[in-house]
Amino acid sequence: MLQGLTIGFIGAGNMAEALIRGLLEAKLVAADQIIASDIVEAKRQQIHQRHGIQTVTEGRDVATKASILVLAVKPQDMETALKGIAASVDQTKTIISVAAGITIAFIAERLPAKARIIRAMPNAPALVLAGAAGIAKGEHATAEDLQCAEAIFAAVGKAVVVDETHLDAVTGLSGSGPAYAFLFIEALADAGVKMGLARDVARLLAAQTVLGAAKMVLESGRHPAELKDMVASPGGTTIAGLHVLERGGLRGTLIEAVEAATIRSRELGRR
């Protein structure tokens, strides 16, 4: 799908580097098919040294050479970035944005007519090639554009195609979700320490437990409730613990957290 194409990154921060690493490790492209720009010289040198790709200062130089442009700048820098590349963008290029809260319409208004735009919402675990991304297709993007975007984000985890109206919910769930999981792991580890385990032992057991549970859901294809019931023996330790979690409102609190993050994402998108 990406064979023979040049992929350009406007901005070379953490998410851009995660995608570059994923693409190279999956052997979807070679290093000479990737070019990235960043205004910070140290970041350009770091990316070049780590991955062997070409780096430049100006986004327009990336836009001129690349078939696929990944907009990986901070949301507050998007306006400037789009101005810098607009003259080099035409209908032959695929534009993929990973900037939170920046709509397809916002990008389209600042680029030439009928620009082929894909908007994506990846998350932090992409940094360890275990990310989850929602991808939405703009009006003029093609089916092939969408397939290219899916291939790029699949290189750093899982990717799902959604309507753009659902990207705020993706943000509230998988975008913010790692923080919820980190809090859950921290709390599990603290509980282990309270019960007498060493801190490093408790943290390892907590993190590996969450990782293993997630793998069981993904690889078994079974409903989480069914897997939960497998672990909870009648009259056993697990059902006693589950009773406490239900009584404490964990389920409802998590639902409300995703709802609150989704609402906040919508508010930020209207700025």
The one-digit pLDDT tens for each residue of the chain (271 residues) are: 798 899 999 999 999 999 999 999 999 999 999 999 999 999 999 999 999 999 999 999 999 999 999 999 999 999 999 999 999 999 999 999 999 889 999 999 999 999 999 999 999 999 999 999 999 999 999 999 999 999 999 999 999 999 999 999 999 999 999 999 999 999 999 999 999 999 999 999 999 999 999 999 999 999 999 999 999 999 999 999 999 999 999 999 999 999 999 999 988 877 6
198 and 154 co-located in one domain = no
Beta-sheet pairing, 54-56 with 68-71: unpaired
Q: Is 244 annotated as a binding residue?
A: no
Total domain count, the chain = 2
Structure token digits, residue 114: 């009928």
- Report residue 243 CA to chain centroid gap: 34
pLDDT at 271: 63
| Residue 12, annotated as binding a ligand | yes
Q: Do 155 and 25 share a structural domain? A: yes
φ, ψ of residue 166 to 5 degrees: the values are -95, 0
Amino acid 267: pLDDT: 87
If asked whether residues 132 and 27 sit together in one domain, one would say: yes
Among residues 167, 192, 213, the one where a domain terminates is 167
**Nearest-angstrom CA–CA distance, 35 and 23:** 12
Q: 87 in helix, strand or coil?
A: helix
Distance CA(116)–CA(67), nearest Å, equals 11
133 and 217 in one domain?
no
Same domain, 18 and 149: yes
Task: Report whether 63 contacts 8 (CB < 8 A).
Answer: yes
Supply the range of the domain harboring residue 253.
175-269
CA distance 271 to 266: 9
74 is known to lie in a ligand binding site: yes
Give yes or no: residues 205 and 260 share one domain.
yes
Task: Tell me if 13 is assigned to a ligand binding site.
Answer: yes
Q: Are 149 and 7 in contact (CB under 8 A)?
A: no
75 known ligand binder = yes
Q: Judge if 91 and 181 occupy the same domain.
A: no
- Taking the whole predicted model, whether its pTM rises above 0.85 is answered as yes
Check which CATH number belongs to the domain holding 32 and give it.
3.40.50.720
Strands 116-121 and 131-137: antiparallel
| Domain identity same for 96 and 224 | no
Q: Where are the beta strands (DSSP E) in the chain?
A: 7-10, 34-37, 54-56, 68-71, 94-97, 116-121, 131-137, 157-161
Q: Helix, strand or coil for residue 52?
A: coil
> 78 and 201: one domain?
no
150 and 74 co-located in one domain: yes
Residues 100 and 181 placed together within one structural domain of the fold? no
Q: Is 72 annotated as a binding residue?
A: yes
Residue 15 annotated as binding? yes
* Whole-angstrom distance, CA of residue 62 vs CA of residue 68: 10
Whole-number Å distance between alpha carbons of 150 and 148 = 5
